[in-house]
């Protein structure tokens, strides 16, 4: 399992608010869950099943060399939902996806200077 603080928290930057259960002792995992429960009204957390990302190949443009360069990395897909409609007719709609490809040696995928960010539609 993975426990992540909301992206609106100051702890979300740089993956500081991410806790991967398989990497933590029972004591540290329990403390992370307790923190999440205690701060739910200020900064909600998400608990979800963790799926190890697979290695993908992508290309990025190296502006210093003025050429395309290959990169192998791990990808994370982030869906973006927006609510449309009024009152009882309001519904969440998938409106976009952001793919973040980070170098394969990075443990947790998050935005970083070495990442390739690619928007996509539903």
pLDDT per residue as tens digits for the range 60-107: 999 999 999 999 998 888 889 899 999 999 999 999 999 889 888 887
Quote the pLDDT of residue 88.
94
Same domain, 58 and 113: yes
Same domain, 43 and 66: no
Same domain, 43 and 58: no
Quote the pLDDT of residue 51.
82
Measure Cα distances from 111 to 20, 54, 60, 65, 81 in Å.
17, 17, 15, 23, 19
Quote the pLDDT of residue 72.
93
Measure Cα distances from 22 to 14, 52, 55, 121 in Å.
19, 11, 20, 32
Quote the pLDDT of residue 119.
92
Overall domain count for the chain:
2
pTM of the full structure: 0.62
Quote the pLDDT of residue 14.
66
Same domain, 62 and 14: no
pLDDT per residue as tens digits for the range 102-121: 888 887 766 577 888 889 88
Measure Cα distances from 116 to 41, 68, 69, 119 in Å.
33, 12, 12, 10
Quote the pLDDT of residue 10.
76
pLDDT per residue as tens digits for the range 9-56: 777 776 778 899 999 999 999 999 999 999 888 888 999 898 877 889
Quote the pLDDT of residue 110.
62
Same domain, 91 and 31: no
For residue 102, the enclosing domain spans 53-122
């Amino acid at each position: 399992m993975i426990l992540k603080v909301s992206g609106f928290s100051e702890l979300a930057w740089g993956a500081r608010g991410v806790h991967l259960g398989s990497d933590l002792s029972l004591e540290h995992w329990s403390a992370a869950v307790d923190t999440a429960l205690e701060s739910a009204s200020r900064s909600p957390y998400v608990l979800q099943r963790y799926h190890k990302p697979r290695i993908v190949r992508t290309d990025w443009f190296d502006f210093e060399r003025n050429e395309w360069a290959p990169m192998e990395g791990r990808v994370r897909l982030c869906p973006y939902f927006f609510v449309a409609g009024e009152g009882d007719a309001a519904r969440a709609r998938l409106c976009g996806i952001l793919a973040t490809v980070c170098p394969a040696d990075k443990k947790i995928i998050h935005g970083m200077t070495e990442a390739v960010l690619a928007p996509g539609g539903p």
